[in-house]
Amino acid sequence: MQTPIVIAFLLADKVFREMETGKVHIAGTFNQLATLQFPMVHPQFFVYLAITELPTGSKTMGMTFQYIETGEKVLDIKQNISSRSPLDVIEVNMCFNTVKFSREGNVELTLSIDDQNLMTRVLRIRKIDPPKFTPMPPSDQKF
């Protein structure tokens, strides 16, 4: 069996398909998330995937989010996908709501088809300091 090829594996703020043209719009791609405190619950993000060379028929696609440093699983999902031909490009748009990240670290996202790992990528989760407010000096301008 030919190994499927991952053409795109993107994290984004928004992903939507134009009804008239079928074109996919991907906005606000990222590879890290920042927070002032942990645990952090991210309200919503999307994973956009494009896969080709997928053998004909139904397959089980898996996506696992796991901290590299500790092995702690954040999320593990499976969904069915199907291909009519290995020449097809299968596009998958996954919406994730209220995902909880317990601590700072590197989260590995692993994509699998029928339990065969195809690709991984890293989402960095980091803590930032609150912004410091610097007051503006008084102005001598009169309006």
DSSP letter for 54, please: P
- The 3-state DSSP class for residue 64 equals strand
pLDDT tens profile 19-66:
999 999 999 999 999 999 999 999 999 999 999 999 999 999 999 999
Check residue 28 and give its pLDDT.
97
Q: Which residues pair with 106 in a beta bridge?
A: 124
Dist CA 109 CA 38 (whole Å): 20
Tell me the pairing of strands 32-35 and 116-127.
parallel
Dist CA 122 CA 11 (whole Å): 10
> At 111, which helix (H) or strand (E)?
strand 105-113
The pTM assigned to this predicted structure is 0.87
Indicate the pLDDT class of residue 134, thresholds 50, 70 and 90. confident
Give, in degrees to the nearest 5, the angle at Cα 110 between 107 and 116. 155
pLDDT tens profile 59-109:
999 999 999 999 999 999 999 999 999 999 999 999 999 999 999 999 999
One of 1.10.260.40, 3.40.50.150, 2.60.40.2550, 1.10.3720.10 is the CATH number of 5-127, namely: 2.60.40.2550
Dist CA 47 CA 6 (whole Å): 13
Dist CA 112 CA 51 (whole Å): 11
